[in-house]
Amino acid sequence: MAGTPILSVRDLTTSFLVDGEWKSVVRKASFDVGAGETVAIVGESGSGKSVTSLSIMRLLDTASSRIEGHVMLSGRDLLSLSEKEMRGVRGNEVSMIFQEPMTSLNPIFTIGRQISEVLTRHKGLSKQDARAETVRLLEKVRIPNASARFDDYPHQFSGGMRQRVMIAMALASRPKLLIADEPTTALDVTIQGQILDLIKILQEEEGMSVLFITHDMGVVAEIADRTIVMYRGEQVETGLTAEIFHHGQHPYTRALLSAVPKLGSMENRPWPTRFPVVDMKTGLATEPVEVAGTVSKGMTPILAVKNLVTRFPIRSGLLSRQTGSVHAVENVSFDLFQGETLSLVGESGCGKSTTGRSIMRLVEPTGGQIELDGYDVLRLDPVGLRGMRKSVQMIFQDPFSSLNPRMTVGAAIAEPFVKHKLGTARQAKDKTADLLEKVGLSTDMARRYPHEFSGGQRQRIAIARALSLDPKLIVADESVSALDVSIKAQVCNLLLDLQQSLNLAFLFISHDMAVVERVSHRVAVMYLGEIVEIGPRVAVFDNPQHAYTKKLMAAVPVPDPARRGIRRGISNDELKSAVRGMDYQPPKREYREVSAGHLVQVG
């Protein structure tokens, strides 16, 4: 690092007032960000990474927080400035972009107005100049047809495009430092790739420094010159990104890195493989174990889906006539055997969740056939449907909203058992205790409420509840996506163990290619409601045939700093929408067999 740093943080300690006591959430953080440098702060939830960035910007509520230490921006201590002077710094010398592009723009003003406001306020430009400059900025962040979109409102942009608008707004004042707080976390993987490329290119063009906050080691490897690892409010390790990745000193760093699912780490492993278990104290990892021989091929599949179609009508006008429909699931067919994991992968809106919910009859499919453990699912009456629920259960994405906050954990786990009258109250209690142990929790936790547990623990509880009916199939809808990496590894291992001991079949719905590669026997790639490629995991990952599959895999950030220079070639592709008019006839699709069981859509 040459010259004086742009940002220099010394002994930053931030505390919050909790129940009359000061609790420090960031302790003694010290780091520099040099000119033109990208520094990443990485850590899991609760590590204090976001609080660090908010402390630098002084965006914390002054009544309940206390920031100590020094934050020097080009030689000025931001912590000693008055609030008025600080307003001149924010959005001017330092800009910030946030995680949620859907809520960080004001919906009632045009994007052009929101960007030019920054210019007229901070740079004193006239209205006309500001407009010209805004168009230039929109072009800079590669928004197609920028001048025509000046007067568009935020809702007319997709998530990725909104994040571009946010970046344009952040760049408007030509900041010395850009703080990006999880800017790609809420985006789909192909869009994430575009935004990361864009940030890299803009940084070269503008020569600004970037402080990048993320939980994703893949993103870190791709973007950061130097990396700071945070753990429970402590800065545990700082260094060049390659150093951290290859010769991490702190056990936590090594634990974090080995828990990260890496795309391509499954070469020469035919079966799903557990994540290595790492001791947080020593950083030593155990050799991961393959989970082989669970699939009962040759028998009748536990789940057979044929030509499943689910459409949602779009109504508009005074009489709410149907004017079109969302073709969420279009002609989807697959089989799933006992003890097997089939993953549905794809980006948001591709219909993977709707497929899962259609199989559960949580949404009503439009057509097709679903055979599940002997039930003809689409022709079941309410009584039969209730019976079917014993065979298939679901685990949701967000462990914070999937448990009833007013019900004790024990009651929640026992409820399905009691509801289906599978035994006495005594038996329900024993079953609950048994299940809690199975998912790695202790039995005395049954009397507590969900809010007393962490995200990972809650997901275990959700799994225990799903298991209480002894189902044969579990639909796991993004069940590990919201979890921190180390917890994600634990929960994946749990699922694999349960598959082995209970011979469960999983329909694993996920957008996370690296996790999918790890846990599945077979993979189906979905795009705009259709399966474009399906086959054994090894075949699909080693020999992807469909253009979309290839694109999806190329977009996944790989946690390997050696790949840092690689650009994907910036594109402005957006995810297409599956909204169709009334007269739309879905085209006839044909599949080509690449190898045994590996089918790819043609035409």
* Run of H or E residues at 527: strand 522-527
Nearer to other proteins, 119 or 473 (CB): 473
Pairing of strands 234-240, 579-581: unpaired
Nearer to other proteins, 14 or 457 (CB): 457
What does the longest C-alpha to C-alpha distance in the chain come to? 77
Nearer to other proteins, 408 or 503 (CB): 408
Q: How far apart are CA 599 and CA 603, in angstroms?
A: 13
Least distance CB 142 / other proteins (angstroms) = 35
Nearer to other proteins, 39 or 485 (CB): 485
Least distance CB 276 / other proteins (angstroms) = 9
Least distance CB 265 / other proteins (angstroms) = 17
Contact 224, 241 (CB under 8 A): yes
Nearer to other proteins, 142 or 254 (CB): 254
Least distance CB 344 / other proteins (angstroms) = 17
Nearer to other proteins, 59 or 407 (CB): 407
Question: Which string of b and e fits 53-67 if b means at least 16 CB within 10 Å?
Answer: bbbbbbeeeeeebeb
Nearer to other proteins, 259 or 480 (CB): 259
User: Phi first, then psi: what are they for 341, rounded to 5°?
Assistant: -115, 120
Q: Given its phi and psi angles, is residue 551 left (phi above 0), alpha (psi -120 to 50 degrees) or beta?
A: alpha
- Of the candidates 77, 1, 70, the residue with the CA atom closest to the CA atom of residue 238: 1
Least distance CB 283 / other proteins (angstroms) = 11
Least distance CB 417 / other proteins (angstroms) = 10
Q: What is the DSSP letter of 278?
A: B
List of residues contacting other proteins (CB under 8 A):
255, 259, 277-280, 360, 362, 382, 385-386, 389-390, 393-394, 396-398, 401-408, 415-416, 419-420, 440-442, 444-449, 451-454, 456-457, 462, 465, 469, 486, 489-490, 493-494
CB burial of residue 493 (10 Å; 0-12, 13-18, 19+): buried
Contacts of 116 (CB under 8 A, 6+ apart): 125, 127, 130, 131, 133, 134
Q: Residue 241 CA to chain centroid, in angstroms?
A: 23
Q: How far apart are CA 287 and CA 285, in angstroms?
A: 7
Nearer to other proteins, 94 or 394 (CB): 394
Least distance CB 505 / other proteins (angstroms) = 16
Nearer to other proteins, 460 or 537 (CB): 460
Q: How far apart are CA 268 and CA 413, in angstroms?
A: 39
For the chain, what's the residue count? Answer: 603
* Run of H or E residues at 304: strand 303-316
Nearer to other proteins, 446 or 524 (CB): 446
Sign for the CA dihedral angle at 235, 241, 243, 248 comes to positive
Contact 514, 216 (CB under 8 A): no
Q: In the block, which residue shows the tokens 């429909």?
A: 325
Nearer to other proteins, 458 or 537 (CB): 458
Nearer to other proteins, 488 or 511 (CB): 488
Q: Is 26 helix (H, G, I), strand (E, B) or coil?
A: strand
Least distance CB 465 / other proteins (angstroms) = 8
In 10 A of CB 29, how many CB atoms? 25
Contact 236, 27 (CB under 8 A): no
Q: How far apart are CA 595 and CA 301, in angstroms?
A: 21
Least distance CB 240 / other proteins (angstroms) = 26
Q: In the block, which residue shows the tokens 């609030």?
A: 83
Contact 502, 439 (CB under 8 A): no
